[in-house]
Amino acid sequence: MPGWNGRSSNLIGSRLQGPGQDARLLATPVPTDDRELYLGARASSGDSDPPPPNKAPGESEDVDLEDAPVSAVPRRYKVIFHNDDYTTQEFVVHVLQRFFHKTETEAQHIMLTVHHKGAAVAGVYTKDVAETKVQQVMDAARDNGMPLLLTTEPE
């Protein structure tokens, strides 16, 4: 079969055989795991570093790693409404329904708690969600000329 250069050639293994040449197939071991693939890639890329010694997991005593506590449950944050003398009760109810998906009754209850006690929790969320809700509500309040204050604090 003609090759790219017009001469007849056959690809055997990883060697190219031309007409009249002796074809020898080099036996190449097949990698069985990722480490062998990595080492094989390094060896074929021309790196002169020797391969690291083969050690079983847990044999290395060279590096001390500190185990950081891993929390399966992300920390949660409370979104707190604060009372002021200018924001209307109707606006607070509207915001609770729109941004916190509260029913009319739930929104009224939270609004009255803010009014009588000075502050109330509207919901508990992950940090990113809590901060986003605070920013959205405060932007809506500013757009409507209300000085409503919301804060977040860890639960």
Per-residue pLDDT at 62: 64
Tens-digit pLDDT profile for residues 76-106 = 999 999 999 999 999 999 999 999 999 999 9
pLDDT tens-digit map of 112-137: 999 999 999 999 999 999 999 999 99
Q: Which CATH architecture has domain 76-154?
A: 2-Layer Sandwich (3.30)
Sequence-separated (6 or more) residues with CB below 8 Å from residue 134: 79, 150, 151, 152
